Amino acid sequence: MRIAIVGAVLTVLGLVAVLTGVLPLEAVAALAERSGPILGFVVAMTVVAELAAEAGVFRALAERLARMAGGRAILLWLLVVVLATASTVFLSLDTTAVLLTPVVVSLAAHVRLPPIPFALTTVWLANTASLLLPVSNLTNLLAAERLGLHPLQFAALMAAPALVAVLVPVVVVLLVWRRDLAARFAPDEPAAIPDRPLFWTAVGVLVALVPLLVSGIPVWIPATAAAVVLALVFAARRPRVLRISLVPWPLVVFVCGLFLAMESAHELGTTALLGAFAGTGEGSLELLRLAGASALSANAIDNLPAFLALEPFAESPLRTAALLIGVNAGAIVTPWASLATLLWHQRLVSMGVTISWWRYAALGLLVAPLTVGGATLALALTAG
């Protein structure tokens, strides 16, 4: 609800900018044309993820991972790493942070392992693993749309930094919690699936959706189709699940407000001040400068407005990639750097798991520079 209030305030300020002539109607129309399909995708994918979770897909997958681990905590954690990475890459960081977090925390509690390394692995990978595909992060969608890149072209550009951005936090978790991850546990039998037709329909929809998201078709089309199919199936079998809250209204209001506010700031020329920090050029040092500036901005004001503010200074695919490294992989220090992080923390609190923001920030200060620096150097090396 808080993000909806902030979004509403930003929207009102944007409307004031329109009424006073600061933000021309032509700019609003161009913004709507660009952001409308992206917001449609976010809404549709949220509905798909929520309904898939209601069908038991994520929980069944986690339980089967516990069986596959054979009683070894390190193997269970590595399987969670794979699951969190795949979920982020193909279903977006919000899906991982919001829906996978309670699954892996419950899984850790179920096998009597400390939940913090599993929870931190999930939220860090939700941010750092969101570099590979346009669908992985809203910032990626904005960047790919502006550059006109096919999803596979985008993936080719981001492959090396995406790999580094996954490996660095994984290595840190392994080193910091090596004793906990060396433990063993006794796995239990997976729980029965209560509604098999619903479960397998959801699995089929997800399996069909993943290749369509990287096919080059506008991503809102297959995402919307998947949401409609699942909604129809739930309407027939479990209609009570279909509620208005499936649509992430607070997120929609927040994003709309951010778009309007940043477009107004751009029209006023205030974002031009960031150009001094972003620099120019495509050498290794210049890319590190841009990635560092964008990471600092993301942790100061949230990664989405940071991307929108710095986007004018990322005029090439290579500089755009450096910008994305900063605002995506670097947004793991402050709690407000990423909306997914705030939602992740809410889920932890609701499950009785506590981690102070001071500890989170201290660990983030260790991981973020290593991740952003390593990923940017990987980008520069592969581009050269």
* 141: CB partners within 8 A, 6+ apart: 38, 41, 134, 135, 219
Q: pLDDT at position 253, please?
A: 83
Between 146 and 164, name the one with better pLDDT: 164
Does the pLDDT of residue 256 top 70, yes or no? yes
Q: pLDDT at position 350, please?
A: 66
Per-residue model confidence as pLDDT tens digits over 272-285 = 667 777 778 889 99
Contact at 8 Å (CB) between 237 and 198?
yes
Q: pLDDT at position 272, please?
A: 66
Average pLDDT over residues 290-317: 89
Closest CA to 319 of 298, 294, 353, 355: 294
Residue written as tokens 């990639």? 321
Per-residue model confidence as pLDDT tens digits over 324-371 = 999 999 999 998 888 788 778 877 876 788 888 899 999 999 999 999
CA–CA separation, 345 vs 360, rounded Å? 10
Does the pLDDT of residue 35 top 80, yes or no? no
CA–CA separation, 143 vs 324, rounded Å? 8
pTM summary value: 0.81
Does the pLDDT of residue 136 top 70, yes or no? yes
Residue 5's pLDDT band (cuts 50, 70, 90): confident
Q: pLDDT at position 188, please?
A: 67
Q: pLDDT at position 158, please?
A: 96
Q: Which of 21-25, 85-89, 171-175 has the lowest mean pLDDT?
A: 21-25
